[in-house]
Amino acid sequence: MMKLDKFIEGENLDLCIPTEKFASQSDWYSWFNDKKIVKYLEYGLYPNTREEQKKFLNKSENRLILMISIKNKFDYIGTISLSKINYKKKNCHIALVLNTNKEYNPFIPLESIALMTEHAFEKLSMNLISAGQHVNLHKWQNMMELVGYKLEGLHKNTFIKGFEISDSFWVSCQLDDYILLKKNRGRLWDGTNKIKNRLMKKRKIRSYSNFLKGIYKNERKKYYQKVFNL
């Protein structure tokens, strides 16, 4: 496997710098042709090629793209990015794509988010980081809460792919919340064992995503029926 330079080092993983040579010679491009990998992503409508992946990498203006590698193994199991980086408004979007055909520590995705979030706040001076997710990824959304991402809303019928029309969550991490977590922990990611213990405790609490879906299904519908019948 090609060795890429490390950009951010973590506990279970390294975030590495992709190159044009990597895009040309690796199977990175093929992830976006795999129906399993892109099931909840808006990819897979047209075939992706190595040439298209090279173009994507070279059009990385206002975007930071890093490859997720299993720690010290240079085995690339995903990619994480900050996009729509706006230095004037101090906000950006975060996204993660994983090659689900590979085996890896289940906490690597969350640590990747934590490391990239830390970089966005500490190095890029962002105040807000946002992300959109398919409604079926509620378990992942609940995990992201452990590193500061709050559920902001449920967007109705915003994921459209073929015959599927589904809802999506919108989540964000505010600078104030990041500072609070950093004050409590020292770092956003303070070790897998500590994060794992928090996750175990969190499972005893009713998730906010289920609470919000209940509101949209019942109270929200009744409310607008009253309003629209005025």
Tens of pLDDT, residue by residue over 156-167, are 999 999 999 999
Cα distance between residue 11 and residue 223, in whole Å:
48
Complete domains list, the chain, with CATH: 6-228 (3.40.630.30)
Task: Compute the distance between CA of residue 83 and CA of residue 96 in angstroms, rounded to an integer.
Answer: 11
First to last CA, the chain: 65
Place of tokens 């015959």: 163
Q: Among residues of the chain, what percentage have pLDDT more than 90? A: 84
Residue owning tokens 């230095």:
87
* Distance of alpha carbon 154 from the chain centroid: 16
E-only strand ranges, 190-230:
none
Tokens of 126: 């962002």
pLDDT score for 74: 84
Q: Tally DSSP H helices, then E strands, for the chain.
A: 8, 8
Neighbours of 33 (CB within 10 A): 15
Q: Is the pLDDT of residue 146 over 80?
A: yes
Count CB atoms within 10 A of the CB of residue 164. Answer: 10
Does position 46 have pLDDT exceeding 80, yes or no? yes
Q: pLDDT tens across 85-143, in order?
A: 999 999 999 999 999 999 999 999 999 999 999 999 999 999 999 999 999 999 999 99
